[in-house]
């Protein structure tokens, strides 16, 4: 066993951290959040240049062929800075599906452009009223010549507002769930963009007989397994982002306790507060361990929803604890938009409810608890 990062991985983290630190101070980040897309094309090209966008794609698809550990390292940095660029939503998750299911032609047509930052994808899977694990899809695909036509509604679609191309799950005419490529500007595609409570963007997407191309070509069968695996990987990415956000929320809080004065002394003189900061640290380390666990399993080639739920349950609970305590110990300033801690809290709140919440992960784990004696790694 080894939980240390390699020198290259450490360097990758440091490079991304530097880039984001240069790109965003508090003010420029707030300005960027106010723009229509809520993130910066300029930072996006810088990430592309650095090879971050293509990190997880194969070399022949224009990527670097890196693995889950590198992805984790990068997402932790995005989380730490709360950089709003949609790496997971526009690249890793939908791009990962193209990589896993797409034909060689499709991969080479799409992925290099994604890695280069020129094309944005989005994964359109959730449907109104559905909750994780959302395996029941209602959007339908009918054959139309060599292609297909999709009808139905997807919502919420994370960063669906800015995507050039959508990866959409839909019921195949032969049964089972297929994945389809749909141009966002195609006829029969209607997008309703919105902001989310964690200051990201999303969209509802209505398909009305929209032209679609089956991912994986005419021979492709049911893609449910690929979707489930992609979500397990996405959960690991969110864990990493959350760990980065928690690290910074705790750092901000410790810093604040050391500088804010009330009753003639800094808040750090009140043990009632410092012990709670210590508890936040405990939560952070538990979350980090579970994030490593989920990533290491993926790196070993294991895609296990049970491991994913174990990790995300802890990360979500730690995120809730750290987020709530960070606001509370900041007092009033903690819930203003101008001060960064509120952004970490909002994001941790949303992550805790994306791809399964506390309740849903517990349900999955509890349903299986009678099936084994020892809880083992």
Ligand X SMILES: Cc1cc2nc3c(=O)[nH]c(=O)nc-3n(C[C@H](O)[C@H](O)[C@H](O)COP(=O)(O)OP(=O)(O)OC[C@H]3O[C@@H](n4cnc5c(N)ncnc54)[C@H](O)[C@@H]3O)c2cc1C
- Site residues (vs other proteins, CB under 8 A): 126, 128-132, 153, 155-156, 158, 192-198, 202, 204, 261-264, 270, 272-273, 324, 327-328, 331-332, 334-338, 342, 345-346, 349-350, 353-354, 357-359, 362-363, 366
| Shortest distance, position 345 Cβ to other proteins, whole Å | 7
Cα separation, 194 vs 317, in Å, equals 27
Angle 128-181-307 from CA coordinates, rounded to 5°: 65
CB closer to ligand X out of 3 and 263:
263
| Shortest distance, position 333 Cβ to ligand X, whole Å | 6
Residues forming contacts to ligand X in the complex (CB under 6 A) are 260, 262-263, 267, 270, 272-273, 328-329, 331-332, 335
CB closer to ligand X out of 146 and 271:
271
Q: How far is CA 340 from CA 24, 83, 177, 302, 352, in A?
A: 12, 12, 41, 37, 19
Element at 320 (helix H, strand E): helix 305-330
CB closer to ligand X out of 290 and 322:
322
Q: Residue 89: which of other proteins, ligand X, none does it interact with, CB under 5 to 8 A by kind?
A: none
- Cβ proximity of 297 and 289 under 8 Å: no
| Shortest distance, position 129 Cβ to other proteins, whole Å | 5
Q: Residue 95: which of other proteins, ligand X, none does it interact with, CB under 5 to 8 A by kind?
A: none
Q: Residue 299: which of ligand X, other proteins, none does it interact with, CB under 5 to 8 A by kind?
A: none
| Shortest distance, position 275 Cβ to ligand X, whole Å | 11
- Cβ proximity of 230 and 97 under 8 Å: yes
Q: Which residues contact 256 (CB under 8 A, 6 or more apart)?
A: 267, 329, 330, 341
Q: Residue 218: which of other proteins, ligand X, none does it interact with, CB under 5 to 8 A by kind?
A: none
| Shortest distance, position 340 Cβ to ligand X, whole Å | 16
123 is written with which tokens? 């994964």
Nearest to 77 by CA among 50, 59, 96, 57: 50
Cα separation, 179 vs 223, in Å, equals 7
Q: Residue 318: which of ligand X, other proteins, none does it interact with, CB under 5 to 8 A by kind?
A: none
CB closer to other proteins out of 11 and 359:
359
Cα separation, 145 vs 286, in Å, equals 53
């Amino acid at each position: 066993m080894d939980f240390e990062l390699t020198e290259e991985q450490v360097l990758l983290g440091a490079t991304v951290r530097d880039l984001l630190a240069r790109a965003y101070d508090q003010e420029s980040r707030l300005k960027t959040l106010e723009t229509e897309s809520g993130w910066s094309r300029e930072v996006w090209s810088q990430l592309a240049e650095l090879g971050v966008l293509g990190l997880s794609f194969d070399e022949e698809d224009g990527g670097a062929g890196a693995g889950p550990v590198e992805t984790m390292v990068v997402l932790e940095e995005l989380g730490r800075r709360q950089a709003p660029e949609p790496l997971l939503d526009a690249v890793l998750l939908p791009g990962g599906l193209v990589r896993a299911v797409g034909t060689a032609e499709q991969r080479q047509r799409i992925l290099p452009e994604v890695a280069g930052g020129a094309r944005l994808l989005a994964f359109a899977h959730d449907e109104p009223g559905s909750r994780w694990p959302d395996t029941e899809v209602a959007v339908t695909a009918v054959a139309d010549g060599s292609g297909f036509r999709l009808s139905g509604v997807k919502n919420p679609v994370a960063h669906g507002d800015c995507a050039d191309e959508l990866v959409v799950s839909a019921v195949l005419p032969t049964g089972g769930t297929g994945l389809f490529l749909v141009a966002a500007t195609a006829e029969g595609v209607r997008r309703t963009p919105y902001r989310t409570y964690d200051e990201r963007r999303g969209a509802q997407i209505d398909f009305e007989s929209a032209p679609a191309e089956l991912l994986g070509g005419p021979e492709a069968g049911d893609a449910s397994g690929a979707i489930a695996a992609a979500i397990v990987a996405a959960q690991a990415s969110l864990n990493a982002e959350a760990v980065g956000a928690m690290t910074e929320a705790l750092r901000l809080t410790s810093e604040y306790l050391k500088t804010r004065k009330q009753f003639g002394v800094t808040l750090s003189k009140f043990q009632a507060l410092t012990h709670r900061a210590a508890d936040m640290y405990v939560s952070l380390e538990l979350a980090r361990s579970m994030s490593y666990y989920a990533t290491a399993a993926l790196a070993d080639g294991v895609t296990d929803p049970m491991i994913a739920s174990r990790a995300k349950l802890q990360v979500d609970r730690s995120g809730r604890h750290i987020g709530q305590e960070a606001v509370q110990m900041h007092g009033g300033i903690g819930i203003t938009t101008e001060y960064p801690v509120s952004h970490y809290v909002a994001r941790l709140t949303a992550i805790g409810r994306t791809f399964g919440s506390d309740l849903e992960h517990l349900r999955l784990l509890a349903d299986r608890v009678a099936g084994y004696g020892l809880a083992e790694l």
